[in-house]
Amino acid sequence: MCGCETWAGTEQMKSFFETWEREMLRKLHGRIRDENTWRIENDELQVMYRKPNIVTTIKVRKLEWVGYVVRIADDRTAKKAFLGEPGGRRGA
C-alpha cells in the first residue's frame, strides 16, 4: 500500500487487488464447513474481516493525498505537478 496514492487506478489493477485480498482473507480465516462441503463466500469474508476492502482503502488514501496537496504551499513540487505548472526549462 506504500505509495498507492500515486498509482493509476485501472480496472485491471482493481480486479487484481480484489482477487489478492480475497485469497489472503481465505488463508487467514480458513474454510467454512456447511453440510458436508467446504465453502466460503466473498460476502462472508468481508463480514468476517470487518474492514473496508482494499480498493476502498486505496480510494480513501488517494482522496486524503489530494487534500494534502491542495493545502500545501504553491511553491512545493507536488503542488506544481498537481496544477500542471512544473516550470523551469527542459533539458536538451
- Domain parsing of the chain, residue ranges: 11-50, 52-83
CB 22 within 8 A of CB 42: yes
Task: Name the residue among 24, 28, 6 with its Cα closest to residue 16.
Answer: 24
* Grid cell in block for residue 26: 481465505
The pLDDT value given to residue 32: 66
- The per-residue pLDDT for range 17-72, each reduced to its tens digit, is 888 888 887 777 676 666 766 666 666 777 777 777 778 888 898 899 889 989 99
Cα separations (Å) of 17 from 11, 21, 29, 56?
10, 6, 18, 11
pTM score of the predicted model:
0.63
